[in-house]
Amino acid sequence: MSVVRMQAPSQVLKEFRPLFRPDSIAVIGASANGTSAGNRFIRVLRDCGYRGRIFPIHPSAAEIEGIPAFRSLAETPEPTDYAYLTVPAKNAEAVLAGAGGRLRFAQVMASGDPETHHAWEDRLRELARQGGFRLVGPNCMGTHSPHGGYTFMEGAVIEPGGVGVACQSGGLGMDILRRGQNLGLRFSGLVTLGNSIDVGPSDLLEYYLHDPETRVVGLYVEDVKDGRRFQELVRKNKGRKPVVLLVGGVTGLGGKAAASHTGAMAGTDQAWRALARQTGMVLTDTLDTFLDALQLCLWLQPKPGREPVVTLFGNGGGASVLATDALDRAGFGLASPSPAAREEYARIKLPPGASLANPIDLPASVLKEEEGRVAARILDINRTLTAPYATIIHLNLPVILGYRHVPGFLPNLLNSVLGGADGADSAPHQILVLRSDRSEEADAWRREFRRAAMERGVPTFDEIPQAVDALAGFRGYEEFLSAIGHANSPPANRSTA
Amino acid sequence: MDAPAQISGNGAHAPAIRRIIDRAIEAGQGALDEHSGKLVLSELGIAVPKSVRIGPYDGAHGRIAALRPPFVLKALSSEAVHKSDLGAVRLGLANAAEVDAACAEIRARMAQAGKALTGFLVEEMVEPGTEIVIGGVIDPQLGPMIMLGAGGVFAEILKDVAFRLCPIEARDACEMIEGLRMAPILKGARGKAGADLGRIRDALLALGGEDGFFTAHADRVEEFDLNPLIARHDGLVAVDCRVVLRGVGK
């Protein structure tokens, strides 16, 4: 499999620098009257505080959005690092043909006419080759690069983070950005790749794997283009940097006539599942599970080889019972409190209704004890003396809000449940489930709790089963790490041993 | 069954296997016939039943003296056919006369189905064991992929399968075995003798490992099935094999 050319990491980082940290951005498709997508992009660049030079390109306008315009990419005072093209497909070629070797990256938003787009894309690819620039797209939405101080999306948080995303769909890229940032994810980059006629998912995967700012890679792919190279990259990574994958179009091959049993049972879905198993990638199948997996991979320290036993902590007896079932189905067990933990729990005087076995079930009326600080004591004992693989803390906020009149209760409770996220190797994975009834008040408190959790690097979920599923996916990654740490010995065999 | 050879994915067999495949492609065949397929398996060290090949109109008398009854008779075709669906397989034949009678029947059936008949394979019957399938298919995006599963004619109904992309490592092969619902049966459930798991692992590696058959020849092989492989505590025998070739008539 060593047929694929690999570049040195420094070379990869250097090649993509103009895309992720452009010194200059040309905007093609803004107009003097100020209503087009190009104008919107210039205003977004301004709002997010982009510090490089902006070159509006226009055949006749002298000034666009108050910035001097140029007639072509050949006439800008310095070469352009990144050109953002919102012009219609038929105009893109002339613009790029005029770059005259003075362009590093072009991103083309337009999509070609369905009848002729293959020929159009071939011509664009050829222009990129001749002009010595890389082409992102076509049929995409833009690039979000907080490290480069720019974004394509109005309202995007420009604060840099550790999640690097490549997305073969523009709209889904925006969903990832919007929903992700509300979950507390911050990005090292998010590139919408569209039809990927030049820059493809493998290029971005390679970049993010080498980029020191990126701690977890997230990819949405429909057609990976160069499967060999993609595969070689993730095989070489060996799980060192977590990779979360959302693959679209995996169920579409059902009609293929196969000449063998194997062919009849194989499909794209099996191929991606296989690759995930072989490389430790976390494979997801919805936007939400993709974002959930990114949260865990970003914030949890892998604990390979740990027995998967969990402490459940929270208010809601029925919810705990259902959670126990969800854990069981996902292959987790409940952690038995250690004798030392039981001894410590016995010293805590609690009103009736509380149970300190596992699940630890504390009604809101008990959680309010010690102005909400009792949770911290219990969780501390669980963390240090029982030391499970993970602790899932679930708070049913509407019920808890019934005690909002107790001074300091809610802030103290929040501090209590976030106290264990110190990242120590021995500490359990800490996960917070914030259950709401969708009332305005409960949702507002959920946002506040979530904001505090993200600052501490604690993953948050709306419901317990969702947290359990995400943890099971992360567990697959940990099991891969644990498996590659062991020798390739044959499986135990009772009959011939 | 013969003394088991060393199952090997070391690549030394590659030229011999390539010659078998190239010959079939040059002859315009869309698939290896079962005889050629089993030659490939023998090169890989995967055991096949002791057999004799006879022409489409040959009599069995004198030709199958070296085989021990009961016999299995199979039609050979250069096309990928589901032999059991066509009734082109007969089991438990006691002597040459029964083989000849079965040959005549199968000739008629193949002619009726419009399938090219290139001869017959007469094989010794293999002692019963657990039926598994190992197969390969090319994923359009990710390339050659190998499968292990519960085998036999109900393989597609049971769908107890594990897939991995080629090349696989020993760890992958072991996880494939462990990942099957039938793994406890292979290990020896309820007092029954299990299978030789090391041999299954080695077969997976010889077929899908770094220098394995499918990894090395995916440019010419489109799909393959070894179904069933009879897995026993004392061996692993490929009773049937189908190798679909690429680029012929497509």
Least confident of A75-84, A275-284, B56-65, B164-173: B56-65
Q: Which pTM does this prediction carry? A: 0.91
CA dist., res. A417 & res. A453, Å (int): 9
CA dist., res. A299 & res. A185, Å (int): 10
DSSP E strands in A159-226: the ranges are: 160-167, 187-192, 216-221
Which 8-state DSSP code applies to residue A145?
A: B
Largest CA distance in chain A: 84
Alpha helices in A187-284 (DSSP H): 201-210, 227-237, 261-265, 268-279
Exposed/middle/buried for A14, CB within 10 Å: 0-12, 13-18, 19+?
exposed
Strand arrangement of the beta sheet that strand A24-28 belongs to: A53-57, A24-28, A80-85, A103-108, A134-136
pLDDT at A4: 65
Q: How far is CA A20 from each of CA A151, A158, A189, A200, A245, rounded to the nearest angstrom?
A: 10, 13, 7, 15, 21
CA dist., res. A153 & res. A139, Å (int): 16
Cβ <8 Å between B145 and A274? yes
Which 8-state DSSP code applies to residue A406?
A: S
Exposed/middle/buried for B48, CB within 10 Å: 0-12, 13-18, 19+?
buried
pLDDT at B249: 46
Strand arrangement of the beta sheet that strand A243-247 belongs to: A143-144, A187-192, A160-167, A216-221, A243-247, A282-284
Q: Which pairs count as long-range contacts for B155-164, CB under 8 Å and 24+ apart, including other chains?
A: B155/A261, B155/A265, B155/B227, B156/A261, B156/A264, B156/A265, B159/A265, B161/A265, B161/A270, B161/B133, B163/A266, B163/A270, B163/A271, B163/A273, B163/A274, B164/A274, B164/A277, B164/A278, B164/B208
CB burial of A242-263 (b: ≥16 within 10 Å; e: otherwise) equals: bbbbbbeebeeeeeeebbbbbb
Query: Residue A486: its chain B contacts at CB < 8 A?
Result: 171
B33 or A19, greater pLDDT = A19
Contact B95, A274 (CB under 8 A): no
Nearest CA in chain B to A487: B171
CA dist., res. A117 & res. A126, Å (int): 14
pLDDT per residue over B138-159, tens digit each?
A: 999 999 999 999 998 888 899 9
Tokens of A162: 């550790």
* Bridge partner list, A154: none
Task: Choose among A82, A20, A23, A51: nearest CA to A214.
Answer: A20
Choose the mutation target among B77, B82, B130, B137 for the interface with A, i.e. most A CBs under 10 Å: B137
Query: For residue B9, what pLDDT band results from cuts at 50, 70 and 90?
Result: low
Query: Residue B196: its chain A contacts at CB < 8 A?
Result: 493, 495-496
pLDDT at A252: 58
In 3-state terms, what secondary structure has residue A407?
A: coil
The answer for residues whose C-beta is within 8 angstroms of residue A414's C-beta and 6 or more apart is A448, A449, A452
Phi-psi label, residue A331: left if phi above 0, alpha if psi -120 to 50, beta otherwise: left
Of B145, B163, B227, the CB nearest to A261: B227
Cβ <8 Å between B133 and A494? no
Query: Residue B143: its chain A contacts at CB < 8 A?
Result: 227-228, 231
Query: Residue A483: its chain B contacts at CB < 8 A?
Result: 171, 175
CA dist., res. B208 & res. B213, Å (int): 6
Interface A–B counts its CB contacts (< 8 A) at: 129
Residue with tokens 């709306």: A462
pLDDT at B80: 66
Choose the mutation target among B163, B202, B240 for the interface with A, i.e. most A CBs under 10 Å: B163
A176 or B4, greater pLDDT = A176
Query: Shortest Cα distance from A168 to chain B (angstroms)?
Result: 15
In 3-state terms, what secondary structure has residue B96?
A: helix
Contact A85, A29 (CB under 8 A): yes
Query: Residue B31: its chain A contacts at CB < 8 A?
Result: 259
pLDDT at B247: 67
Of B142, B147, B224, the CB nearest to A265: B147
Query: Residue B177: its chain A contacts at CB < 8 A?
Result: 491
Answer whether residue B196 shows pLDDT above 60.
yes
Of B143, B188, B194, the CB nearest to A227: B143
Tokens of A99: 């770059």
Tokens of A261: 């049993």
Cβ <8 Å between A265 and B159? yes
Alpha helices in A224-286 (DSSP H): 227-237, 261-265, 268-279
pLDDT string in tens for chain A (497-residue length): 445 667 899 999 999 999 999 999 999 999 988 889 999 999 999 999 999 999 999 999 999 999 999 999 999 999 999 999 999 999 999 999 989 889 999 999 999 888 888 999 999 999 999 999 999 999 999 999 999 999 999 999 999 999 999 999 999 999 999 999 999 999 999 999 999 999 999 999 999 999 999 999 999 999 998 999 999 999 999 999 999 999 988 775 444 566 778 888 888 889 999 999 999 999 999 999 999 999 999 999 999 889 999 999 999 889 999 999 999 999 999 999 999 999 999 999 888 878 889 999 999 999 998 888 999 999 999 999 999 999 999 999 999 999 989 989 999 999 999 987 656 667 899 999 999 999 999 999 999 999 999 999 999 999 999 999 999 999 999 999 999 884 333 444 333 32
In 3-state terms, what secondary structure has residue A107?
A: strand
* Bridge partner list, B52: B122
Which 8-state DSSP code applies to residue A265?
A: H
Nearest CA in chain A to B163: A274
User: Phi first, then psi: what are they for B237, rounded to 5°?
Assistant: -125, 130
* Bridge partner list, A135: A106
Tokens of A73: 């990419």
Q: How many CA atoms lie within 13 A of A163 on its CB side?
A: 30
Task: Choose among B214, B204, B192: nearest CA to B238.
Answer: B204
Answer whether residue B101 shows pLDDT above 80.
yes
